[in-house]
Amino acid sequence: MPRLREQKWNITHKRVPTLTLKRKLAILSDAAKYDASCASSGAPKRDSRGGKGVGSSGPGMGICHAYAPDGRCISLLKLLLTNFCVYDCAYCVNRVSSNVPRARFTVEEVVDLTLGFYRRNYIEGLFLSSGIIRNADYTMEQMVQVARSLREVHDFRGYIHLKVIPEASPALVNQAALYADRVSINIELPKDESLAALAPEKDVVVIKKAMGAVRLGVEAGQEKGRKARPPPFAPAGQSTQMIVGADTATDGAILKRSEGLYGAYRLKRVYYSAFSPIPDSSSRLPLERPPLIREHRLYQADWLMRVYGFDRAEIIGETEDLDLAIDPKLAWALRCRGDFPMDVNTADREQLLRVPGLGVRAVDRLLDVRRFKRLTLADVKRLSRGIETLKPFLVAADWSPGQLLDRADLRARLEPRQLDLF
């Protein structure tokens, strides 16, 4: 304990060697790579046509990519304000007891980098997070100053995402949401007891309270019928991130927590980040990271809940793990063969979205075309992908799967196969 207190004192008070801006950028952009929640969907459209303002949110080191609602790829400058931190979260590479190079940007440096990268056409926005230096309020205030300077001093109209520190005062969280397009507050781990054990300075009650405050602010800003509309409040909503594989939580437990967060706080996204072993890690943590395919399957299951109308319990039980060999929709369809085959010429949109191999865009195309003709298997093939996956689950004008759906080896036939290079 004396050593830990000394390290915290050093972080708060000790002067560090002067680093070049390029070195700071290398350290703090690399430190930001563990934060996955940087999508920009739902951001309002702004531009600087007419010579007013800098940047637009319309239709190298530190550069990450996010996606707008229309599918455009947006480049963001993704940084930590600092990787100094007085917290000692066991799973975090920037924890106070970690032996990593440290750096810290000034407010002016982040503002200048954002504007400079934008003017060189490298980025269209900023994603800013931070370790905790001194205390939560001091750190959050510095981040708010960055956003305020960009918006008010430089009239920056690009996308801004701020990572909110839940322990910060409500007034600072409110200011962050007034300047940012999106804010995010990390729930960190799927289970409350895991957070208490691995991140003792963090409190899940405080995290949820901050999420609730942001939800109320977002809803107040969207309320219709008010004579005086309040200023935009995180117009692209809020998101969160969970670390996968740092504790013993099953995929079902992870998705159950996501289901609760979507319902309680109207989150835009829950991001899943596979735990990565870090230097000098605690013996309480796994020695190896989980397979990346697990993170991928969680995103697929999450997509089924958010976009395809599935309930979490349909996809997986709380004590179960997702099948890593096949995607969750195919796994569900193989369990529920009695719901198939679907007639592509009569099934409604919600039914067609449950067919393995049919995505939202393909379903919408099929619905448009069938207004003018009866769909054949060739039509389905032309408007979608993976016809071999679709064939057991669909009826078309010239196609019926017959006994194919009941075959005992159907899963084996549909499982993706690795290419044999030798």
Percentage of the chain exceeding pLDDT 70: 84
Domain segments of the chain as ranges: 2-315, 328-414
* Strand order from edge to edge, sheet including 73-80: 63-67, 73-80, 125-129, 159-163, 182-184, 238-244, 269-274
Q: Assess whether pLDDT exceeds 60 at residue 422.
A: no
Distance CA 102, CA 123 (A): 25
Which residues fall within 8 angstroms of residue 81, CB to CB, at 6 or more apart? 28, 104, 105, 110, 128, 129, 130, 131, 139, 142, 143, 146
Can you give the length of the chain in residues?
Answer: 422
With respect to CATH, is domain 2-315 assigned 3.20.20.70?
Answer: yes
pLDDT for residue 71:
54
Q: Which pTM does this prediction carry?
A: 0.85
Residue 75 structure tokens: 């480049």
Residue closest to 80 by CA, chosen among 37, 145, 118, 35: 35
pLDDT value at position 53?
52
Biggest CA-to-CA distance, the chain: 77
Peptide bond into 290 cis (omega under 30): no
Lowest mean pLDDT among 127-136, 278-287, 384-393, 406-415: 278-287
pLDDT of res. 365: 96
The b-or-e profile of 116-141 (16+ CB within 10 A means b, else e) is ebbeeeebbbbbbbbbbbeebeebbb
Which single residue is written with the structure tokens 């200048």? Answer: 112
| pLDDT tens figures, 54-88 | 444 443 344 566 655 455 566 889 999 999 999 99
Instruction: Give the span between the Cα atoms of 212 and 270, in whole angstroms.
Output: 15
SS3 assignment, position 202? coil
Answer with the residue of higher pLDDT: 383 or 74. Answer: 383
For 195-241, how does the pLDDT look when each residue is reduced to its tens digit (9 = 90+)? 999 999 999 999 999 999 999 999 887 777 666 666 789 998 999 99
Answer whether 75's CB lies under 8 Å from 122's CB: yes
More confident residue, 178 or 13: 178
pLDDT at position 74 is 65
Residue 163 to residue 240: CA distance in whole angstroms: 9
State the average pLDDT over residues 92-106: 91
For residues 144-168, give the mean pLDDT: 95
